Amino acid sequence: MNFILAGHGNIAIEMKKSIEMIAGEYTNLHAITFQLGEGIETLKDKYLKIISQSTEQPFIIITDIFSGSPYNAAAMLAMQNGNIEVISGLSLPLCLALLHIDYSSINLEETFEQLNDMKADFIKSFSQLSKNIAKHEEF
């Protein structure tokens, strides 16, 4: 499986750096920027440059915002290529989870079922957790 991180400004480049800080380098992980003044065609060209240099393995493109330009450009490519899946919600927990799934035993649909099962683990509230801990300590 190959991955492309994409978002507004330099968020994808910085996300890739953070992933590598935590989990090491991944040769199948790529990141592109989307700068002020660039458009959908520029984004599509950036995606295609990466995709064309890879084997025929599928790509998951992870974008920052649903229906933003990086997402829309990726979705246009996905409509033309069944080996591309696009998801929004770029975050460090999401990326680390995606990178550690064993793709040899599941397909893309099952991948997103696993992510749905994990999504409650991606966002935690300290105040909510501390209230739950306090309730259990009362007994």
Task: Render pLDDT for 35-89 as a digit per residue (tens, 0 to 9).
Answer: 999 999 999 999 999 999 987 788 999 999 999 999 999 999 999 988 899 999 9
Give the tokens for residue 135. 């309730």
Amino acid at 33: T
For the cut 80, the answer to whether the pLDDT of residue 110 exceeds it is: no
**CB of 103 closer than 8 Å to CB of 111:** yes
Catalytic residue status for 30: no
pLDDT at 27: 92
> Whose CA is closest to 70, among 87, 56, 83, 57?
87
pLDDT at 139: 46
Please write the tens of the pLDDT for every residue from 90-101.
999 999 988 888
Q: Which of the following CATH numbers is that of domain 2-137: 3.40.50.510, 3.50.4.10, 3.90.1640.30, 3.30.70.2470? A: 3.40.50.510
pLDDT at 34: 97
